[in-house]
Each structure stands twice: as C-alpha cells, then as structure tokens.
Structure 1
Amino acid sequence: MHPFHYCNVTVYGFHGCSAAVKSKILSGSAQFNRSANRYDWLGPGVYFWENDFLRAQSWARDMHGNSAGVIGAKIQLGHCFDISNSFAKAILKIAYDDLQADLSAARLSILINKPHPWNKGNPDDKVLRYLDKVVIDYAMAISQQNQPNNLYDTIRAPFQEGFPVYPGSAFREHDHIHLCVRNPDLLIDLFDPEEVG
C-alpha cells in the first residue's frame, strides 16, 4: 500500500432518514441500521453524504416527505478505500476482471447498473448500482482474504448524478461524495445539524 492514501482523516457526513429514526438515534435508544440492498453501490454499511447537509435533506424529503430528518456525524475515516484515488480504482479493475472470469467459468452473467425504476431524475444516471456493488464486495472479500488484519473501515467515492448545473456543464446538480461506514465505532460524534449554528 502506498503511504499516501486517504486514512485517519475526520470529515462531516449527513445521513437522511425519517424524523422518528433521527430522534431515536440521537437519543441513544437506537443505532444506525446497516444498509444491505442489492443496489447499495458501496456495499453494506451506513451511508452518508460527505459535507452536504442539503443533499441529505433533499433525499430525506423525497423519501419521507414532511417527516424527514437528517443526522450529522463526525466520522473518523480510519482505513479508507477511497475510490477517488488511483490505487483503489486499480484494485476495482482487478476485482472486476477476476469476478468476470469466475462468473464466466460458472456460465453466469455479470449484473449491470440501471437507471431509476420510476424514471426519476436524469435517465442517464445509473442510480441502481448492482454491478458496482458486486465488484466492491468482491474487492473487499479479496482484501480480507489477503490482509485479514487490515480491513477497510470506510469506503469513499464520488458520485455524478442529476442534470447539468448549467448548459454545457460537466457538473451535475446532485454530484456528491458518498461515504459508506462499515465500522460504526468511527462515528465519533452524532448531532442534529438543524440545531447547529
């Protein structure tokens, strides 16, 4: 591992949820549920928008309407698989090639990413990341096999989403950095972002 990878950095993340879930988690009467959907592109864990309260709030309102909530968290990234980094992308390429070979030997086809099932947002977005999830899971399994004492605590990745911010722009309205926290011990401080300020 190259010494200059993204690790032991503290960031702020925002988790969209219902107001009821927010209240329970902030009061300590409940903990985050690990998301484990087939389309969760960074694999199982707790998902946060890095440094983007407004995006978390928008998502929560889309999902929960007037009963939406957002939880803020100070997150120690620990040992982070950062997909904005060339090292991580090289690992994903290897994982994809190995997975493709294994599936081909078993006469199985690989999954593909798909757009939103209800045609929400930009139809070019592939928000259901079935392919990316299996490749990430495969990469994490290989990593665990090769270095069982050096597991990844978090996965961090850029996500391009939405329509262009202005005509001709490569920036999209919902572009963001997504964090998947696999080790909940690194959620070092939870807070209500609507009460900060």
Structure 2
Amino acid sequence: MNNSRIIYSSDQGLLLGFHGCDQSIRDQIILGQIRMKASHNGYDWLGSGIYFWQNNHARAMDFAKNPPGKSKIDNPAVLGAVFSLGNCLDLTDKSYIDRIRESYYLLKDTFCEINTPMPKNRPAPGSLNPKDKVLRGLDYNVIETLHREIIKTGEIPFDTVRCVFIEGNPIYDDSGFYDQTHIQVCVRNPNCIKGFFLPRLEDPEWYKAA
C-alpha cells in the first residue's frame, strides 16, 4: 500500500489523452494557474468528470474547432495530459458492461416507482442525422446511478470511466469502420492525472542533427 501522499507511486501504467479547449485555458492549466474543471452536464456520455480523447490529438482539435451546439472557441487548442486509469469502469470489459446493464434496470425501476418518464439519448437540435444521439441523458443517468450504488454498498469508487464509441459515417460503402470512432476517458478522480503538457509537432528531420 502507498502510505505517502505522492500520486506517482505504485502506478499500473500511464496513458496519453487530449482535450480540446481555448488556448488561454490550455496555457493557464499547463502553468498551474487554474485547475481543470470536471463536466457535470446531464448529457455527458460517461457521466461527470474530466474528459479526454485517448491518444487522439486530431479529434481533440476537431472538437475545439467545431464545439457542439452554438458555442464557439475563439482560439482552438489542445491540452495534453498524462494519466492513469486507476480503478476503471472499463466498458470494453464484459463484466463492467454487465454492471451498466444492471444499473439501467435499477434506474428504470426507480422511474417506474415515481411514475416518471425515463431520460433519453437524443440528437442535437437541428442535427441532420437522427441516429447520432450526442445528447446522452439516459447513459449519463445510468452511469451516475452505478456510481451512487457503489458508494452505498461501500465498494471502492471508480476513478475513471473508459469506452470505445463507434460514431459518425461509414468510411466507404458497406464499411464496418466509421469516421469518428474514438476512445473516450472520463476522469472522476483528479489524482489520476499526473501532469499536463503542450503537444509538440514531429521533427521530420531529426536525424540530420545527429
């Protein structure tokens, strides 16, 4: 057991993630002038937390340049982060997928008892693709229900949530590959974030300096 308060000990491995935001926000976070804030929108895909695209700088930049809804980012930029998953609700793992299913039925029973319609996943207003349900009120509530139940039963809380999302349009006729497929990580425990960095460009002529 790690009895110190140093968050770098006994780490199971580190990952890289990227977050699209305004350049001023990125720079202030890197310099330690402000802390990165968790998102608590009732439509967030993986529940409340700090969101990263895993190993996907291009998608983070695309998000910054094309934020959802009517919002606009004046100076799109990408923040890099190094983090661990810790105790992860990993939705690439069947055991955790099963727990999410159980959480759905628990949520459904709760709404039935109070005779209230369940939250729904729905497309953004004005979306041309009704199947692209980017406002995930149902999924948010299912995941948050699981987190609350874990606290009630005294289990170790999840530090992070991770999922692969098959999103967008097929990249060719009858394709099984979609143009916006990605891995998203939601960090609930900020101690999992080991540091932030400014992403750098590749030096294609590195060997000439050797």
TM-score of the two chains, using structure 1 as the length reference = 0.90
1:93 paired with 2:101, answer: yes
Shift of 1:8: 3.3
Shift of 1:9: 3.5
Partner of 2:77 in structure 1?
69
1:37 maps to which of 34, 41, 61: 41
- Count of paired positions: 189
1:178 maps to which of 181, 184, 189: 184
Partner of 1:52 in structure 2?
56
Q: Deviations over 1:131-162 (max 9, x none)?
A: 000000001111121134x1110000111211
Aligned residue for 1:193, secondary structure, equals coil
Shift of 1:127: 0.7
The separation in 2 between residues aligned to 1:12 and 1:58, in whole angstroms, is 17
Q: Which amino acid aligns with 1:90?
A: D
> Aligned runs of 1:111-190 on 2, under 5 Å?
111-119=119-127, 122-148=129-155, 150-190=156-196
Q: Which amino acid aligns with 1:176?
A: H
| Structure 1 ranges of 4+ moved more than 6 A | none
Native 8 Å contact 2:21 2:73 kept in 1: no
Pairwise CA RMSD: 1.6
Q: Deviations over 1:53-107 (max 9, x none)?
A: 0000100111345500111111111000001110111101111111111110111
Aligned residue for 1:155, secondary structure, equals strand
2:14 maps to which of 7, 10, 13: 10
Q: Which amino acid aligns with 1:49?
A: W
Q: Which amino acid aligns with 1:140?
A: H
Q: Considering only CA atoms, is the larger Rg found in Structure 1 or Structure 2?
A: 2
Shift of 1:196: 6.5
Q: Of Structure 1 and Structure 2, which has the larger fraction of its residues in helix?
A: 1
Native 8 Å contact 1:159 1:177 kept in 2: yes
Gaps of 5+ in 2: 1-10, 204-210
Q: What is the percentage of aligned positions where both structures have the same residue? A: 34
The separation in 2 between residues aligned to 1:91 and 1:50, in whole angstroms, is 23
Aligned residue for 2:66, secondary structure, equals helix
Shift of 1:194: 3.3
Q: Which amino acid aligns with 2:148?
A: A
The separation in 2 between residues aligned to 1:162 and 1:151, in whole angstroms, is 32
The separation in 2 between residues aligned to 1:184 and 1:79, in whole angstroms, is 13
Aligned residue for 2:124, secondary structure, equals coil
Distance of aligned partners of 1:139 and 1:48 in 2 relative to their CA distance in 1, 3 Å threshold: same
The separation in 2 between residues aligned to 1:181 and 1:129, in whole angstroms, is 18
Gaps of 5+ in 1: 1-6
